[in-house]
Amino acid sequence: MDEKLKHGAISWSELLTTDTAAAKAYYGKLFGWAFEDVPMEKMTYSVVKVNGEDVGGIMPIPPAAAGMPSSWGLYVTVDDVDKTAETAVALGGEVCMPPWDVPGVGRMCVLKDPQGAYISIVTLSCGK
């Protein structure tokens, strides 16, 4: 089994930024990353590639989060997004973006821990 598909594994990193072109130029030169632009509804998502492997993404800050600073986030794979979100709340966390389905990817959710840090969870439907 792919390690990224195991419950609790950090499976994806993602930059939300005000300037995707500048971010791609910077990280491309800094780390030698390549990018594959994927048109999505209302935006272009840039998949980060290292040695041909998809390892993360860069996207514009969505309108619902206007005003937030550019920041990196990560996704942790879980067996069941909905159940994990319920458990997070029971442990004192908060659901910031309720579970939603991303076609071709899986089911996702954004949580905030009791100390105020954000983390995203995902159950991947592809690659299984």
The full set of domain ranges for the chain reads 1-12+63-128, 19-60
The pLDDT tens digits for 74-89 are 999 999 999 999 999 9
Tokens of 93: 């966390």
- Architecture (CATH level 2) of domain 1-12+63-128: Roll (3.10)
Spatial distance between the Cα atoms of 98 and 85, rounded to a whole number of angstroms: 8
Q: How far apart are CA 99 and CA 39, in angstroms?
A: 22
3-state secondary structure string across 53-110: EEEEEEEECCHHHCCCCCEEEEEEECCCHHHHHHHHHHCCCEEEEEEEEECCCEEEEE
The verdict on pTM exceeding 0.95 is: no
In this prediction, residue 64 carries a pLDDT of 83
Run means of pLDDT, 10 residues per run, the chain, 128 residues: 82 94 97 95 94 94 89 94 97 95 91 93 77
Backbone angles phi, psi at 102, to 5 degrees: -115, 110
Distance separating alpha carbons of residues 78 and 80, to the nearest angstrom: 6
Nearest to 38 by CA among 100, 102, 98, 99: 102
